[in-house]
Amino acid sequence: MNAAEFFNREVSLPKPRMGEWAFAIAKTLLGCFLLGVIAKTVLPTHPLLAGWVGMIGVVFMLHFGLFHLLSLAWRRAGINAEPVMQNPLLAKSLADFWGGRWNTAFNELAFRFTFRPLRRWTTPTVATLAVFGLSGIIHELVISLPAHGGYGLPTLYFLAQGLGVITERSRWGRKLGLGRGVRGWGFTLLVTAGPVFWLFHPPFINHVILPMLTAIGAT
């Protein structure tokens, strides 16, 4: 999503290593396994769980796997195209998770067209909450609207993320070490994964993911 970097031919890029190719292929195969084997196995007895497994499989296959392979192919050709996922499980702060590791393509747009303009006439706290609130609205359109239910939950999820970022940057959060080290990693995991059912709520799993899995023959 960063056209200036993508078309910058003056950057000298090292060729991707074989280990990174293997890692990207492994993530793609893991997604295929979750989608085509595990989801299908648990569907008869636990359809909600099957929907979650299938959804995670799609994310691994596309966002972590195939998109990483595309990045490798572009970089092999000399184009500066970084992976959209930058090892999010290694994030030791919420700011690092959302700002530099998870779906960096969206982060680039959100920072350039929302946070930076708002920051010119308001505080970082308000700008941060506005960015996460906008992300919540976008997810309402792609999750709750097609699911015909769960309205407000994705927005609540992303507002919680914004509040988490503000908390870890506060004096109290810095004193507790919420934005660094093991505590930062644990805090990030708790805030991102704890309320994840608000984001991918049951109406979305039942009315969108499960029918999609059936349509593509994964269940």
Contact (CB, 8 A) for 84 and 104: yes
In the numeric block, which tokens belong to residue 40? 């299908």
Task: State whether residue 130 is helix, strand or coil.
Answer: helix
Least reliable range by pLDDT among 37-51, 88-102, 105-119, 125-139: 105-119
Predicted pLDDT at 3? 63
Predicted pLDDT at 2? 62
Q: How confident is the model over 81-86, as a mean pLDDT?
A: 90
Q: Residue 178 burial (CB < 10 Å; 0-12/13-18/19+)?
A: buried
In the numeric block, which tokens belong to residue 107? 């982060």
Predicted pLDDT at 50? 95
What average pLDDT is seen over the chain? Answer: 91
**What is the reported pTM?**
0.90
Which amino acid, residue 132?
F
DSSP letter, residue 36: I
In the numeric block, which tokens belong to residue 2? 């960063």
Predicted pLDDT at 178? 94
Contact (CB, 8 A) for 1 and 108: yes
* For the chain, domain boundaries: 3-76, 90-201
Predicted pLDDT at 9? 67
Close Cβ partners of 91 (under 8 Å, ≥ 6 residues apart): 97, 100, 101, 102, 185, 188
